[in-house]
Amino acid sequence: MNKTPRCSCIKGFEPGKDRFDNSFTECLRKTQLSCRGDGFFMLTKVKLPNTFGAVVDKRIGLKECEERCINNCNCTAFANTNLENGGSGCVMWTRELNDIRTFVDAGQDLYVR
């Protein structure tokens, strides 16, 4: 039986365990967000997380998106909504980051708190 997990956790997260069979089911944040001094790291070439509960503002750029996210203690990540012409728009996640996938040649940048 192959015990290698099908998925891996991103930086700052570690595998959680299913309480029934001790299997890898999710990634949990290693340290809780403090809302003071938190920064972001960039994941490149990814499928963005599910957008359930995400906040979208197509009128602002990436820098303002980052400022809004850092000033919102519930914000866990942000990205551009449109990649054309250097990128525009803002999507911010305030819940769990589910279903991030890494691609070899395509995908978007995601900034994770």
Does residue 1 form part of some domain? no
Per-residue pLDDT tens for 59-105?
999 999 999 999 999 999 999 998 766 678 999 999 889 889 889 88
Least confident of 2-16, 31-45, 60-74, 81-95: 2-16
Q: Which residue has the higher pLDDT, 55 or 10?
A: 55
Does residue 105 form part of some domain? yes
Does residue 59 form part of some domain? yes
Does residue 4 form part of some domain? no
Cβ atoms of 83 and 98 closer than 8 Å? no
**What pLDDT is stored for residue 44 in this prediction?**
94
Q: How many domains does the chain have?
A: 1
**What pLDDT is stored for residue 53 in this prediction?**
83
Average pLDDT of every residue of the chain: 86
Residue 80 burial by Cβ neighbours in a 10 Å radius (0-12, 13-18, 19+): buried
Does residue 45 form part of some domain? yes
Does residue 24 form part of some domain? no
Interatomic CA distance for residues 59 and 66, integer angstroms: 14
Range of the domain at 45: 35-112
Does residue 68 form part of some domain? yes
Does residue 69 form part of some domain? yes
